[in-house]
Amino acid sequence: MARSMRDIKRQIKSVQNTRQITKAMEMVAASKLRKAQEKAEAARPYSEKLKEVVASIAAGSQDATHPMLVSRPVKKTAYLIVTSDRGLAGGYNANILRKVTMLLAERHKSKDEYALFVIGRKGRDFLRRREYPIVEEITELSDTPKFADIKSIAYSAVQQFETGVYDELYLCYNRFVNAISQVPTVDRLLPMEPMENQEKKAEGLHATYEYEPSAEGVLEVLLPKYAETLIYSAILDGKASELGAKMTAMGSATKNASKMIGNLTLTYNRARQAAITQEITEIVAGANAQS
């Protein structure tokens, strides 16, 4: 019984140490989340305004054309997938990777029909083990990445669509809603949606834009930047989602540890009570035997 009590006490101590670690990780994630959330939200107005300008130019000039606005027969598709470098983030990585693998299985009969651009070690390792065709990767991003950190992979994906290497480009990431809700999202980035819908929105706008030398010249510069901006915005969303998922997961782990400590303490007290009762019984029995 004494040995069993020592084991329980040792287990309680181990769980208490684990709880301290998960609580610290929860607090660190919470402190980083605010900054990541602010950065993700700050990027949205810029991309929305850029979208408004592009829509206005394309809708206002019938002669303005660009490869990013034109749909073509799909021979090969590219996917840019945003995951994390580390685990302990609940279902953050599993959810988006499950959605992507299911989508690939539904849309493609062969791995020759698509290529993957991967951000994050978890996604890279998962997809590499299953021999998915990864063409480019980026790992070790900070919790508040700068555009320069992802410019190379964003530029490469957009440029290869422009040159016809890929006929579609999809963006796969976790869209940040709040600290406890992140939605696995797959959006078609290129070719961009037809401008008819944007034209209707543009009709209600009173702002007019003057540009030189031509609409095509402006679109030539703006569209690649716009696509790269959307990629960067998705990565910021992904980082905020990662930290939110990590905070939630560590919070749950801390609560579970506290519950386990309570159960183990109850078991320990019962074992201790049983040991004391046993000793009293033995003492009484010895006293009776002597009388």
Cα 180 to Cα 241: distance, rounded to the nearest angstrom: 9
Residue whose token pair is 């609940």: 90
Of residues 175, 207, 169, the one with CA closest to residue 55:
207
pLDDT tens column, 180-201: 889 999 999 888 775 555 555 5
The whole-number pLDDT of residue 202 equals 46
pLDDT tens column, 95-149: 999 999 999 999 999 999 999 999 999 999 999 999 999 999 999 998 889 999 9
CA distance from start to end of the chain:
29
pLDDT tens column, 226-254: 889 889 999 999 999 999 999 999 999 99
Asked if the model's pLDDT at residue 89 lies above 80, the reply is: yes
The whole-number pLDDT of residue 46 equals 82
pLDDT tens column, 23-69: 999 999 999 998 898 888 888 788 778 777 777 776 665 555 677 77
* Domain boundaries, given as residue ranges, for the chain: 27-194+205-248
The whole-number pLDDT of residue 64 equals 56
The whole-number pLDDT of residue 203 equals 52
Of residues 250, 225, 101, the one with CA closest to residue 155:
225
The whole-number pLDDT of residue 166 equals 94
Give residue 288's identity as a one-letter amino acid code: N
**What are 187's strand-pairing partners?**
171
- Using 50, 70 and 90 to split pLDDT, how confident is the model at 219? confident
Considering only CA atoms, give the Rg of the chain. 28
Q: Is 257 exposed, middle or buried (0-12, 13-18, 19+ CB in 10 A)?
A: buried
Cα 112 to Cα 110: distance, rounded to the nearest angstrom: 5
**Lowest mean pLDDT: which of 14-23, 122-131, 258-267, 280-289?**
280-289
Q: Average of pLDDT values for 1-25?
A: 87
Asked if the model's pLDDT at residue 211 lies above 70, the reply is: no
- Using 50, 70 and 90 to split pLDDT, how confident is the model at 257? very high
Domain 27-194+205-248 = CATH 3.40.50.2300: no
Question: Which pair of structure tokens corresponds to residue 102?
Answer: 């299911």
Cα 78 to Cα 76: distance, rounded to the nearest angstrom: 7
